Amino acid sequence: MPDARPCAVCSTPTKKKCTGCAKEPYCSSKCQKEDWVAHILECGNPGREVTSADRLMLDIKKKQIPFERYTREHYGFNLVPIDLPSQRSYSVFIQKWSPNST
């Protein structure tokens, strides 16, 4: 049986792995859910189609402007110049933005 590897989220030694791809180590379903936004793009068997919304959520989590063409077009980021002097203004917007704000 393979040795324990550190959980991708909390570094707790574990022998458990992603239930989709069986590659990424997670100590619990809580840790797997916490990392899902990032891992869904790499998982070999995510259980559903990866969408532009998944890519957008990862970009928001990383506090960056979406660079993938379809995501930029789908959500209107093609109207924002990609060669901004810095992404600072976008990062400030994301830091202040809340899913519950309207």
User: Token match 């840790």: residue?
Assistant: 31
Same domain, 37 and 63: no
Within-domain flag for 40: yes
Give the DSSP per-residue string, 43-63. Answer: -S--SS---HHHHHHHHHHTT
Higher pLDDT, 101 or 3: 3
Within-domain flag for 92: no
SS3 37: helix
Contacts of 45 (CB under 8 A, 6+ apart): 20, 21
pTM reported for the whole predicted model = 0.63
Structural domain of 20 = 1-48
The predicted model gives 16-22 an average pLDDT of 93
**CB 20, CB 11: distance < 8 Å:** no
pLDDT at residue 64 in the model: 80
Residue 18, judged by CB atoms within 10 A of its CB (0-12, 13-18, 19+), counts as buried
Taking only the tens place, the pLDDT of each residue in 47-102 is 999 998 898 888 888 888 777 888 888 888 777 665 554 555 555 555 555 555 54
The predicted model gives 29-55 an average pLDDT of 91
**Confidence band (pLDDT; 50, 70, 90) for 26?**
very high
What is the number of structural domains in the chain? 2
Same domain, 54 and 67: yes
Structure tokens at 39: 């891992």
Same domain, 42 and 56: no
